[in-house]
Structure 1
Amino acid sequence: MENSNTFAPFAEKKNFRLLRSATIYGPNASGKSNLIKALDAMQDIVLFSYSKYQRGDTLPIEPFLLDAQSRHAPSEFEVMFIEGGVQYQYGFVATKERIEEEWLYAYPKKTAQKWYHRIGDKWTFGSYFRGNKKLWSESTRENSLFLSTAVNMNSEMLRPVYDWFKKKLHILSNAKEYWHPSFTYQLCEDEEHKKRVLEFLKVADMDIDDIEVEEKPFDPNEMLPDDVPEVLKKEIVDELQGKKLKTAYSIHTDLQGERVRFKVDTHESEGTKKFISFIGPWIDTLENGYVMVIDELHDNFHPLMVKFLIQLFHDNDINTRNAQLIFTSHETTVMSQDIFRRDQIWFCDKKNKATQLYSLVEFKPRKGVTDIEKAYLSGRYEALPFISIPYGLIQRDSDGPQE
């Protein structure tokens, strides 16, 4: 399982291995989604604190509100990742109003190189960091990151760090056009990609034999229903006039062996449409070695489909670029040592109203022996909802339930 669920990012360091996937379990309101929102906020600040946020604008940071001290304290973000064969450690501390601290360390060899460290308006630069430090630091606003500023002012040395957030990190709540069915349809314009899309549909037993995409100029008389309000119709026409729109059709075979076209948007189920939306990003991620982050992967999917999607990341013949998957879920049937290593399973639980994140490794289940799903549902690893029935919700009398 080590050879399929992990990979060695450095050829010369065979013992240094990373996970290909990680799953996070926990009850509702335990903080699973907030973990992903924090990563989303970090990505947003890196990509847009220089270009989108102007002086005086507030940053998308939400402090922990259930503690008087934390309510007014800054939030800290840090990630370690590998890009272009170099390991980086990047982070910052921020409030809604300003960046209070920022740092970047690189590990091109065994030891760390400090590239820069910013505390307030004081800067220290390492000897390895090159570029127009004075101009970039003086141009960095109090509510923008030095990383964002320097890259937008042509720092080539920092570009791999910035591009990891821009190109490699794909969060489901972000980039809605990426997770829209149209991205999958776009892939179908290439014959090789279309074959892979159809393979996905076949494995999923969707009873879809083909996907056809038609492109037509926007025609309001044909494409807009008659009952659309005039004000809304005018807005749509102004936005789409002169553009070409794509319509996707799924091809089924009827009982007589004839091909039947279904308009995907109107005739296919929500589960089918969501699966089609997933196929494009899944193929793209596996082909390019991206990091995919998804909240509640189990939504609208059968447990066997969830298992199938996960195992694509664990397949050495398919995941040749070492793509990674991070997801939250309530689907416990995949909580198995046949699918995951112990260090791939994580839990979120509330302790003193705050989220605590911890790994299954801390409980030391017996490898290949412990039924992890059964142990979890019995409460051995905690991170379960506490459900109690309020007195009086179910009324009974001495003769049994009331009619």
Structure 2
Amino acid sequence: MLLSFRVANHRSIREETELSLVATELNEHTARETGARSEGRPVSVLPAVGIYGANASGKSNVLNALRFMRGAVLDSFAVWNSRSTIPREPFALAEEAREETSFFEVDLLLGKNRIRYTYGFELSDERVEAEWLHAYPSGRRQIWFDREADRPDDEGGEFRFPGTGLKGQKDLIVTSTRPDALFLTVGATLNNPALAAVHRWFVDNLWLVTSGGDVPHRTEWTRQKLTDRKAGASLRERIGALLAAADLGITGLTLDPESGEVQLLHRTADGPPRPLDFWDQESLGTHAWFAFLGPLFHVLDRGGVLLADELDSSLHPILAAEVLRLFQDRGANPRPAQLVFTTHDATLLGPSVAERPLDRDQVWIALKEATGESRLYPIVAASKARRDDNLERRYLHGHYGGIPRVTSGEIARQIALIEEGLRATA
């Protein structure tokens, strides 16, 4: 499970920013107990958090930073070696940011014993400037390794292994770790069992779902999973049920016995359900919902983390709310899987406690400063949001920030003035 993510100097995020999935005392009913404790207190985790904000406020960059961290863990050893520089994206609106490191860190709870791990690194264009992995197997921190490059000519950096927490061969990993490669990546490549759990988490998690060009890929991936002999039958039943529940006119799905192609069955007025050609006759909305369901059940089955950028662009608000309730439901999501999403859809905040699928501590705001830097904060930090507040109305009225600073009718007036000027000079 993901407890928190911290990032600095990535795209529009300049200063260190944290997204926390740890429940607060304001949580009403959605948090899940983990069995872990921090400073003597039990730790509960949120199955979903939503990031709100105006266009270009940096919402998507939070998800992009998580994906970059995953890519670094997976690719630094085998792929970065072929590049002239590390493919990071520091803050572009300040020259000095290029000289500063980019920072990424996650807090995780892994395994049946819910052991906490803190893993992170700092990158420059040329090398890994720092990297660390700390574990808390008995509640107390063990530094498994710390890496730091102190000097410009320091090739691989200095590695420290205080204590005996990190088991296995370490010298071979150190000598195999290039300046531009992560020790975690190299250790997993060399089959160090102690590093496998953290590395595996990055391999299995942080699938990013967008409203753009990845829909055909996710559609084809889902269709292939449905034909799997082992898991396909159960997946077909569940996806068929959600397709039918979405009021798309679909009663279920079947596999063509000759081609193996997935066919969606539609209600008819005068007979049994009939299939339509998936690519030529199904609507874009059906494609979006179908393509979302494959990754959805993938993370639900594994207790993973799904990232959804612009959830409201992919799904109708009613379907988006049902997806949230699916993650919140203990029976449907027992592991639990987690959803981190961005959205403009204020209806998900709900006019009342009974009508909103999110607790107050599950709502975050992204705000773009005058300098172009993004700032991220929980809605409860923006205002002392009371339990019975109409979060939807107060958000739209600007009480929490994160909405466009546009006066009603301002855009139309600006265009009218331009048109008037053009006519006057014609």
Normalised-by-shorter TM-score class: 0.7 to 0.9
1:126 aligns with 2:162: yes
| 1:185 aligns with one of 223, 231, 236 | 223
Shift of the 165–176 alpha-carbon distance from structure 1 to 2, 3 Å rule, reads: farther
1:389 aligns with 2:408: no
| 1:95 aligns with one of 119, 124, 128 | 124
How far apart are residue 302 of structure 1 and its match? Answer: 1.4
How far apart are residue 3 of structure 1 and its match? Answer: 7.4
* Structure 2 partner of 1:79: 106
Instruction: Give yes or no for contact 1:45–1:60 (8 Å, CA) kept in 2.
Output: no
Shift of the 40–257 alpha-carbon distance from structure 1 to 2, 3 Å rule, reads: same
| 1:139 aligns with one of 155, 176, 198 | 176
Measure the CA separation in 1 of the matches of 2:67 and 2:367: 21
Shift of the 16–385 alpha-carbon distance from structure 1 to 2, 3 Å rule, reads: same
* Structure 1 partner of 2:313: 299
1:202 aligns with 2:244: yes
Q: Which runs of 5+ in 2 are unaligned?
A: 1-25, 150-156, 421-426
* Structure 1 partner of 2:16: none
- Higher alpha-carbon deviation: 180-189 or 288-297: 180-189
* Structure 2 partner of 1:343: 361
| 1:46 aligns with one of 64, 73, 78 | 73
Moved runs in structure 1, 4+ residues, more than 4 A? 1-4, 11-14, 173-179
* Structure 2 partner of 1:377: 396
Instruction: Give yes or no for contact 2:383–2:399 (8 Å, CA) kept in 1.
Output: no
* Structure 2 partner of 1:24: 51
1:267 aligns with 2:281: yes
- 1:119-268 equivalences under 5 Å are 119-120=148-149, 121-127=157-163, 128-172=165-209, 180-189=218-227, 190-214=232-256, 247-268=261-282
Measure the CA separation in 1 of the matches of 2:213 and 2:117: 24
Question: What's the secondary structure of 2:49's corresponding residue?
Answer: strand
Measure the CA separation in 1 of the matches of 2:194 and 2:36: 23
Q: Which runs of 5+ in 1 are unaligned?
A: 217-244, 398-403
1:9 aligns with 2:31: no
Measure the CA separation in 2 of the matches of 1:262 and 1:281: 23
Instruction: Give yes or no for contact 1:177–1:183 (8 Å, CA) kept in 2.
Output: no
Q: Which amino acid aligns with 2:172?
A: L
Measure the CA separation in 2 of the matches of 1:167 and 1:76: 22
Instruction: Give yes or no for contact 1:97–1:143 (8 Å, CA) kept in 2.
Output: yes
Q: Which amino acid aligns with 1:160?
A: A
Measure the CA separation in 1 of the matches of 2:402 and 2:63: 17
When Rg is computed on C-alpha atoms for both structures, the one with the higher figure is: 1
- Higher alpha-carbon deviation: 92-101 or 358-367: 358-367
Measure the CA separation in 1 of the matches of 2:168 and 2:144: 11
How far apart are residue 270 of structure 1 and its match? Answer: 0.8
* Structure 1 partner of 2:96: 69
How far apart are residue 215 of structure 1 and its match? Answer: 7.6
TM-score, normalising length: structure 2: 0.81
- Higher alpha-carbon deviation: 121-130 or 173-182: 173-182
Q: Which amino acid aligns with 2:100?
A: A
Question: What's the secondary structure of 1:251's corresponding residue?
Answer: strand
Measure the CA separation in 1 of the matches of 2:297 and 2:90: 36
Shift of the 103–4 alpha-carbon distance from structure 1 to 2, 3 Å rule, reads: same
Q: Per-residue CA shift, 1:59-104, capped at 9, x if unaligned?
A: 2310001112213211000110111121100000002321111011
Q: Which amino acid aligns with 2:133?
A: L
Measure the CA separation in 1 of the matches of 2:216 and 2:189: 24
Shift of the 50–11 alpha-carbon distance from structure 1 to 2, 3 Å rule, reads: closer
How far apart are residue 284 of structure 1 and its match? Answer: 2.1
Measure the CA separation in 1 of the matches of 2:206 and 2:387: 33
Q: Which amino acid aligns with 1:180?
A: R
Identity of matched residues, %: 31
Q: Which amino acid aligns with 1:293?
A: L
Instruction: Give yes or no for contact 1:285–1:291 (8 Å, CA) kept in 2.
Output: yes
Q: Which amino acid aligns with 2:220?
A: S
The aligned length equals 369
1:277 aligns with 2:314: no
Q: Which amino acid aligns with 2:299?
A: T
Measure the CA separation in 1 of the matches of 2:177 and 2:317: 48
- 1:104-123 equivalences under 5 Å are 104-120=133-149, 121-123=157-159
Measure the CA separation in 2 of the matches of 1:32 and 1:170: 16
Instruction: Give yes or no for contact 2:67–2:206 (8 Å, CA) kept in 1.
Output: no
Q: Which amino acid aligns with 1:298?
A: D
1:361 aligns with 2:380: yes
Q: Which amino acid aligns with 2:248?
A: M
Instruction: Give yes or no for contact 2:299–2:306 (8 Å, CA) kept in 1.
Output: yes
Q: Which amino acid aligns with 1:157?
A: A
Measure the CA separation in 1 of the matches of 2:300 and 2:197: 20
